Structure 1
Amino acid sequence: MAVPGAQAADISARNPLLSAGEDGYVLAADFSVNLNARLEDAVAKGVALYFVVDFELTRSRWYWLDEQVASRSQSLQLSYHALTRQYRLSSGALHQNFASLDDALRILSRLRNWLVFDKSAVTADQTYLAAVRMRLDLSQMPKTFQVNALANRDWNLSSEWARWTFTPSDSAQAGGTGTQVVPVVPPMLPAAAVAGEAK
């Protein structure tokens, strides 16, 4: 039974953008990440939460199934360290500490400069369908938590796929920044103000 006034956990995605970088195309996106009391309490008690950002790029084919051009995932770990009384966001060997959970979530919410595919993977003036989402990955949690988490809706946290059409231009192929990005769907939910940078 729902508790009146209880905070719901949810993630939403908005403002996805692909642009040409030196080594390939990089993705930027904003997320609104809201944790409920159960998740906040779990982090405060030392349980690490793993958030995964998934990206897909496909090309429509009238004669067969859509072709998957690129698929990438990036994992970010959110944890709390009682000795230092700081929250930590980690991505691979990189990490950053924060004085509060809100500060950590603001950085988690802002994805910038993520290299998702090489320029050679796409053809200029060909239209592609790009998609991005963020989800809480229960499979990376300790086994003792997985059974309870899988059966509890409070732990089922994932955004919808944010989808948009993407057409690389000749200037982008040559190393410029020219791209044509047309959203397929409007932003799902207004995201809270975000600042900072996640790697």
Structure 2
Amino acid sequence: MITTAFTTLCWKKLQPFDRLVSGALGRLWLCMGLLLGLCCTPLAWADTPVEMQGLRVERVDNAVTISANMRFDLPPSLEEALLKGVSLYFVTEVDVVRERWYFYDKRVAHAERHVRLFYMPLTRRWRVNISPRPFSAGGLGMSLGQSYDTVDEAMTAVQRIAQWPIAQAADIDADAKQNINLIFKLDLTQLPRPLQIGAAGQNEWNLNLNKSMRLVLEPAR
């Protein structure tokens, strides 16, 4: 009887630890499985091309905003990762710079747009969260989120930028030559560490756009 009571007591104390280890091992096995899948996939794809359409820069109230559509097809390996519970992170960075003949160009404004896309298997719906800073740093506290029935609807939300404020109107000098430097990419740094290593060498995961253009303000609609 003493032995039985001792065994039961030890089991009750160790059970939470077992659950903790089981959860950690489960996450590790998920990452390792995806990593093996990445490494074993033939490199048949080129870098995923991204095209920017419908660019519009305009002044809205006291802000300078940008609207555009980032057009690209979601590669099969990325959709497979989503269905296995991996969140994908997309980031758009914009710098507004003023040309100076006597020195380096001056950055007068900087803005970031972080988008998290993930699949919810219990409801079979797709979720998109948008935040001004990386989710690894701020979580979901500062983000706006919406759910969608299909991956195509969710991807439309990921790709579409609508009147996103990138600068204060007071920072823009109408008489100066100013450019916009825009970067859009799949942010691998916010993936689990094992996936960062595996995805870095896979062309399908190399999804990015780097574009520079003259800042021309259009009248607000």
TM-score, normalization by structure 2: 0.70
5+ residue gaps, structure 2: 1-41, 132-142
Tell me which residue corresponds to 1:182.
Answer: none
- What is the match of residue 75 of structure 2? 36
Moved over 6 A (4+): none
Trace 1:8-87 onto structure 2 (pairs within 5 A): 9-87=48-126
Which residue of 1 is the match for residue 200 of structure 2?
A: 150
Question: Residue type matched to 2:215 in 1?
Answer: F
**CA, structure 1 residues 13+167, in 2 after alignment: closer, same or farther (shift >3 Å)?**
closer
Alignment root-mean-square deviation, CA: 2.1
Give yes or no for the alignment of 1:121 onto 2:171. yes
- Residue 68 of structure 2 aligns to which amino acid in structure 1? A
Structure 1: state its 5+ residue gaps: 179-199
Given residue 93 of structure 2, which amino acid in structure 1 is its aligned partner?
D
- Select 2:214's aligned residue among 165, 169, 183: 165
2:153: which partner in 1? Answer: 103
Q: Distance in 1 between matches of 2:191 and 2:62?
A: 33
Aligned residue type for 1:106: T
**Distance (whole Å) between structure 2 residues aligned to residue 49 and residue 112 of structure 1:** 21
Kindly indicate which of the two structures has a greater share of residues assigned to helix: 2
Aligned residues of 2:46 and 2:203 also touching (Cα < 8 A): no
Which TM-score applies when normalising by structure 1? 0.77
Q: CA offset at residue 85 of structure 1?
A: 0.3
More strand as a share of residues: 1
Q: CA deviation at 1:14?
A: 2.6
Between the aligned residues of both structures, percent identity stands at: 25
Kept after mapping to 2: 8 A contact 1:10/1:35 = no
Paired residues, number: 169
